[in-house]
Chain A
Amino acid sequence: MAQPTILELVGQIDNTTAEGIESRVGAALDGKPPALVLDFTKVTFVSSAGLRVLLMAAKRCRKDNVAIALHSIAPPIAEVFAQSGLDAFLPTYESRAAALGAVAPGL
C-alpha cells in the first residue's frame, strides 16, 4: 500500500522560498502519493507569497485527488491562516500522528 508523502518545511515561507517549495510539492505530487502531509514544525513565518504557494498546493491536490494535511503550526502562523481563511482550504492538525490519522487512517 502506497504511503503518504511527508514534506518537512523549514524557516520562512515567503517570496524568496516559495518557488523552491512549489517545486518540492510538485515533485512530491508527481510521485502520485495517496496523501501529502506538510510538517510545519520548523516553519517560522508565512507571508502572502507563502499562502499563495500553499493554496496552489491545495488546488493541485484537489485536482489529483490527493488528500493534504498540515501539522504542528505555530500559533502566529495559525492566526495568519485563520485571518486569510486558508484553513478552509487546507486542514490543519496539532501533530503528525493526527494528520496521518486523518489522511491515511489505515496506517
Chain B
Amino acid sequence: VLTLLEEVVLLTIDPRSGRLRGGTDHGVPYALAGAVLFDLAIAGRIDTDATSIRVTSHAPTGNAIQDRVLAELSKQPGPRSVRDFVEEVFRQRTDLEGEALRQLTERGIIRHEKTKLLWVIDRERFPLVEGKPQQLVTARLAQAILGDEIPDMRDIMLVSLAHACGLLGVVLAPAQLEARADWIEKLSRIETISRSVGEAITTLMRDLARGTMGPF
C-alpha cells in the first residue's frame, strides 16, 4: 500500500513524459507536508483539533519520512499549529518530493533517468515502470469526486490535497470539476490539515502576487 505522500507525488508525474508537473506554483510542497501529516494521522501517531496538531504516540512507524516528521513534531511539547508546521516544512525546503520519488523508485513503480540538456543542464525524468498504481490513484480521485457516495477518508484526504495544490486538473476535465465544485469544496473542508494547507497556499499566492514574499 502506498503512503498518501507517495500517492500525491505519483499524481505529479506526467505518465507520457515522466516529467514532474507542478500543479499550482509552489503549492505541491505544501500539499506534500499535509500528506505526511495525514500519513501520521492514519498511523495513529497524531491527532488535530480545529487548528493544532498533537502527537498522541511517539512510536516510530517504520517509514523514514514519517518518523523524521514525527520526531520534529515531538520536539515541541504541547500542541502545535498545523498551518505553522506546514509553512515551516515549506520554508526549510524539506525535499519530501525527492524522498517520496526515491521510495517509489525502490518500490519499482517508477525509474529515475538523468540526462543532460545541451550537454550542460541536468534534466530528470521519472517514467512509470508500472502504470497501474497511478491509474488506481486517479480512478479513486475521479470516483470520489464524481460519485454520489461519501468517499473513504483516505480518498477525502487525497481529494483535498490535490485540490489545494491544483492537481485535480490532471484527473478530470475543467467542466467536470466545475460541475462538482461544491462537492469538492465540501470534501476539502472536512480536515483541519487540508484547510491549513489550502490557507497556506492561498496566502503564499497572495504574497507572491503582491511581491511581498521574502527570500526563502
Contacts and interface: CB of A to CB of B under 8 A. Distances in A.
B44 A15 contact: yes
Given A48-B191, A48-B193, A55-B153, A15 B47 contact: yes
Interface string B183-216: 0001001111100000000000000000000000
A24 interface: no
Q: Looking at chain B, what size class is its interface with the partner chain?
A: 10 to 19
A45 B49 CA distance: 9
Interface stretch (A26-34, A35-43, A80-88, A98-106): A80-88
A40 to B, nearest CB: 16
A48 B192 contact: yes
A91 to B, nearest CB: 14
Contacts of A56: 150, 152-153
B61 interface: no
A56 B41 CA distance: 16
A49 B150 contact: no
B190 A59 contact: no
Contacts of A59: 149-150, 152
B74 interface: no
Contacts of A88: 186
Contacts, number: 54
A47 B190 contact: no
A67 interface: no
B47 A14 contact: yes
B48 interface: yes
Interface string A45-66: 1011101100110110011000
A58 B152 CA distance: 11
Interface residues of A, number: 23
Contacts of B49: 45, 47-48, 80
Nearest to B154: A52
B50 interface: yes
A89 B150 contact: yes
A14 B49 CA distance: 9
Interface of A: 14-16, 45, 47-49, 51-52, 55-56, 58-59, 62-63, 79-80, 83-86, 88-89
19 contacts: A15-B41, A15-B47, A47-B47, A47-B48, A48-B41, A48-B49, A48-B193, A52-B153, A55-B150, A55-B153, A55-B156, A56-B150, A59-B152, A63-B149, A84-B50, A84-B190, A84-B192, A85-B186, A85-B189
7 A-B pairs with least C-beta separation: A59-B150, A85-B189, A15-B47, A48-B48, A47-B47, A52-B153, A49-B47
Given A47-B47, A62-B149, 6 more contacts: A14-B56, A48-B48, A52-B153, A59-B149, A79-B50, A80-B49
